[in-house]
Chain A
Amino acid sequence: GNSVTQMEGPVTLSEEAFLTINCTYTATGYPSLFWYVQYPGEGLQLLLKATKADDKGSNKGFEATYRKETTSFHLEKGSVQVSDSAVYFCALTRNTGGFKTIFGAGTRLFVKA
């Protein structure tokens, strides 16, 4: 079946450090891939997306590249800020008749000043 696996947290970084959160997926065909973010006390928000192989999604300094050969969609940011502290979810959608989103378990990021 379709699934998403992401690195366990929490991840604790100092401000301005480089961030990588690993994400790999299992899916038949050509899923669309997403990163969602959940800030404390808020709902899930789309951070970035990529809809086909080799696409790079980017937003707010975050980037992720759709790698079909390694079935990965790792999230990166060159210099994190305290305000980036949140839970990050890797996700995919497939055309299974409903396009439902399948999420990873989430990775909590703490950024220290």
Chain B
Amino acid sequence: DTGVSQDPRHKITKRGQNVTFRCDPISEHNRLYWYRQTLGQGPEFLTYFQNEAQLEKSRLLSDRFSAERPKGSFSTLEIQRTEQGDSAMYLCASSPGTGNEGEAFFGQGTRLTVV
């Protein structure tokens, strides 16, 4: 298993454009999370999937953000009409469905720069 992979690693986009990121979790993990990390801060929770069901969304996830996990495997995070404030590292993580003892396994992130 190669761990959690994210694509692309870096994305530069113009303000107002739409962007989509992909996350491939560890194959046997049924929980998938998206986080956002800005410089000098810890990751902040955005949303969570249990298999294909999106069970929780943070207040940080405005209506310009949408996430999907259509078959309970990979997930996509789309940001519409990007703003400069969306510039951040977007992290994906997965964990097995075995209670809260299991740690999350993180991908290396997608760094978004909105110019």
Taking Cβ atoms with an 8 Å cutoff, the residues of A that contact B are 4, 31-32, 34, 36, 42-46, 49, 51, 89, 91, 93-95, 97-106
Contacts and interface: CB of A to CB of B under 8 A. Distances in A.
Choose among B42, B91, B106, B108 the residue with the greatest number of A CB atoms under 10 Å from its CB.
B42
Contacts of B93: 44, 101
B22 interface: no
Ranked 4 nearest A-B pairs via Cβ: A103-B42, A43-B108, A44-B106, A98-B48
Contact count band on B: 20 to 34
A104 B42 contact: yes
A101 B94 CA distance: 11
B106 A43 contact: yes
Contact of A42 (B42, B101, B108): B108
A49 B102 CA distance: 9
B40 interface: yes
A43 B5 CA distance: 11
B21 interface: no
A85 B29 CA distance: 31
B40 A106 contact: yes
Contacts of A106: 40-42
B95 interface: yes
Given A97-B56, A100-B33, A100-B56, A44 B100 contact: no
B99 A95 contact: yes
29 contacts: A4-B42, A31-B100, A32-B103, A34-B103, A43-B91, A43-B106, A44-B91, A44-B93, A45-B106, A46-B105, A49-B103, A51-B100, A51-B101, A89-B43, A93-B100, A93-B103, A95-B99, A95-B100, A98-B48, A99-B99, A99-B100, A99-B102, A100-B56, A101-B33, A101-B93, A103-B42, A103-B44, A105-B41, A105-B42
